[in-house]
Amino acid sequence: MDSPAPLSSRPTPVRIMNSTVQCGFPSPAGDYDHKTLSITDLLIHQADATYFMRVRGPSMRDAGIDDGDYVVIDRSIEPRHGHIVLAVVDGEFTIKQLYQQQRHVKLLAANPAFHDIEFKDGQELSVWGVVTWTLKNHVHA
């Protein structure tokens, strides 16, 4: 079982535009005013509790998490019903949506080709952290 990679301590500032962009009909381009922002300021709230992990497999496809994406995991967030979590089940990491109502707990897949994970007596669920961001690579070689 591979552990999530720790964060680099060097923040890398990038430019961020001061305006939003239309995803429907194009809007007239305004001034290209920008400022700098460290990507870590955007993605990370508590550095010593935050990890990046690469996703393998399509079980969370319908939640927008695809094979090859990176997820940002925050261990300082208390997991709640509905959160996408990094869990340890039978010694293996998995990313699923946490279902927790009354005393019934299970992990939900976001792809109908995959089964939800329901726990039998004696089986334990360990939630390792909460997924806060998904980083995608839409550039293909």
Active site residues: 59, 96
The amino acid at 72: V
- Calpha distance 109→94 (Å, rounded): 10
Residue 83, both tokens: 């959160």
User: For residue 75, what is the enclosing H or E element?
Assistant: none
- 6-to-40, 74, 75, 116, 140 alpha-carbon distances in Å: 13, 11, 12, 29, 26
Give the ranges where 47-103 is alpha helix by DSSP (H). Answer: none
